[in-house]
Structure 1
Amino acid sequence: MDPIVEVVALLLGFLGWVLVGVAIPNRYWKTSTVDGNVITTSTIYENLWMSCATDSTGVHNCREFPSLLALSGYIQASRALMIASVVLGTFGLVATLIGMQCSKAGGENYVLKGRIAGIGGVFFILQGLCTMISVSWYAFNITQDFFNPLFPGTKYEIGEGLYIGWCSGTLSICGGVCLVFACKSDTDEKPAYPYQVSRGTIYSASTSRRGAHSTYDKNAYV
């Protein structure tokens, strides 16, 4: 495996893992503005854990969701997927660090190290898929309510937390694909066959035997 590919894949996976940690506590997964006069204008925003509101004076009031079972199903699923994404990304980072050629953690068995790095790439891909499914499902529900003319509640728009999640998923998938395909290309290389090495040895041996016979023949005539 090319060490440059390993480093690039590790950086992409690490950035994706960091952005997941940024997206989970981000408050602006969906936002809505209630327009009125200058005094009553307020912004309402939510994420996976709480609902907040701020007025024109800059005062923020947040309220955590009271019950897990009372939440919508997509919010519970998004929570689980984002937490799973963090766990998978951690496994991917550890496996990639062990499997890199410049790392001494996995010993000198480069075949095994390549396979471990490939497993790290699979973890990165799973991390990216979990993140993309979570934020895309959340965004789908926002847009579905927003364009529904019969929806009676507050209509929200997509917040910055979802964009951070999409960036995280894209980086993680790119890093994982780089690792997996790099490891696969290494295994496809044809090894050197034994006869290519031993051919010269046989030839030199036969040459030495011919030299011995020629010496013997000369001595026989003396």
Structure 2
Amino acid sequence: MASNEWKVTSRASSVITATWVFQGLWMDCAGNALGAFHCRPHLTIFKTEGYIQACRGLMIAAICLGFFGSICALVGMKCTKIGGSEQTKSRIACLAGLIFILCGLCAMTSCSLYANRITVEFFDPLYVAQKYELGAALFIGWAGSSLCIIGGSIFCFSLVKDNKNRRVGYAYNTAASAISTRTKAYNDSTDFKAPNASPKHFDKNAYV
């Protein structure tokens, strides 16, 4: 978000090839082949174009969501000692995954909106002003938002995995209860109802 290379001047349409311009969400910068740069911030939001303000809001929302998502992910990890039981930590991890997905969507929407404006102006034959190309910040934003969405999806799978483990445990408890039922039925047989009665079918070496 802080990068100034959201769009750069197109070398194909630039009259002076030794000078180029970088523009970002917060300031415009100009540089030349000698390495000198000069940046001018956007002093007021009332003169800033609407799509730039929309991209600002989406990127700020993405950063805030990423911050809260990181906290939830830290609490929901099984390697941490905070968060409560494993079931509660699994739900917190799933919530973190949803936050990360929303964070990635906000960032991707912002980069795509900005890139769409650049593309429309570049291929518009009636647009006579300086044309720009896609800057490095857009590609970094697309890559980062994709990683956020993928990581959030992985966190959401933790709740599904936890549900599968609980079903397996339920089957194991059922088997254990069946074994205990058979053991109880065996203990309640007629041979063991009278503990004081003398055995009928065993001699003195039966328990050796």
TM range (shorter): 0.7 to 0.9
- Secondary structure in structure 1 of the residue aligned to 2:81: coil
Q: Deviations over 1:184-218 (max 9, x none)?
A: 23224424155432222222222222231476665
Q: Find the aligned partners of 1:142 and 1:163 in 2 and give their Cα distance.
A: 14
1:173 aligns with 2:152: no
With normalisation by structure 1, the TM-score equals 0.81
- Contact 2:87 2:162 (8 Å CA) reproduced: no
Note the aligned Cα RMSD (angstroms). 2.1
Residue 71 of structure 1 and its aligned partner are, at CA, apart by 1.1
Q: Find the aligned partners of 2:46 and 2:16 in 1 and give their Cα distance.
A: 34
Q: Deviations over 1:25-54 (max 9, x none)?
A: 1111100043437xxx20111000011111
In structure 1, the partner of 2:35 is: 58
- The aligned runs of 1:126-205 (5 Å cut-off) are 126-189=102-165, 190=167, 191-193=169-171, 194-205=173-184
**Structure number with higher relative contact order (C-alpha < 8 Å, ≥ 6 residues apart):** 1
With normalisation by structure 2, the TM-score equals 0.86
Q: Find the aligned partners of 2:21 and 2:52 in 1 and give their Cα distance.
A: 17
Q: Sequence identity of aligned pairs in percent?
A: 35
Q: Deviations over 1:112-143 (max 9, x none)?
A: 10000000000110110000000000000000
Change in Cα spacing, 1:219 to 1:157, as seen in structure 2 (3 Å) is closer
Structure 1, unaligned runs of 5 or more:
1-23
In structure 2, the partner of 1:5 is: none
- The aligned runs of 1:37-76 (5 Å cut-off) are 41-76=18-53
Q: Deviations over 1:95-123 (max 9, x none)?
A: 1110111110113x100100000000001
- Contact 2:73 2:93 (8 Å CA) reproduced: yes
1:85 aligns with 2:62: yes
Q: Which has the larger radius of gyration?
A: 2
User: What residue identity is the alignment partner of 1:47?
Assistant: G
Residue 182 of structure 1 and its aligned partner are, at CA, apart by 2.9
How many residues of Structure 1 are paired with residues of Structure 2 in the alignment?
194
- Secondary structure in structure 1 of the residue aligned to 2:39: strand
In structure 2, the partner of 1:112 is: 88
Q: Find the aligned partners of 1:165 and 1:90 in 2 and give their Cα distance.
A: 16
Structure 2, unaligned runs of 5 or more:
201-208
- Secondary structure in structure 2 of the residue aligned to 1:90: helix
1:208 aligns with 2:187: yes
- Secondary structure in structure 1 of the residue aligned to 2:56: helix
- For structure 1, which segment, 181-190 or 130-139, has the greater mean C-alpha deviation from structure 2 after superposition? 181-190
Larger relative helix fraction: 1
Q: Find the aligned partners of 1:181 and 1:195 in 2 and give their Cα distance.
A: 26
In structure 2, the partner of 1:9 is: none
Match of 1:36 among 4, 11, 16: 16
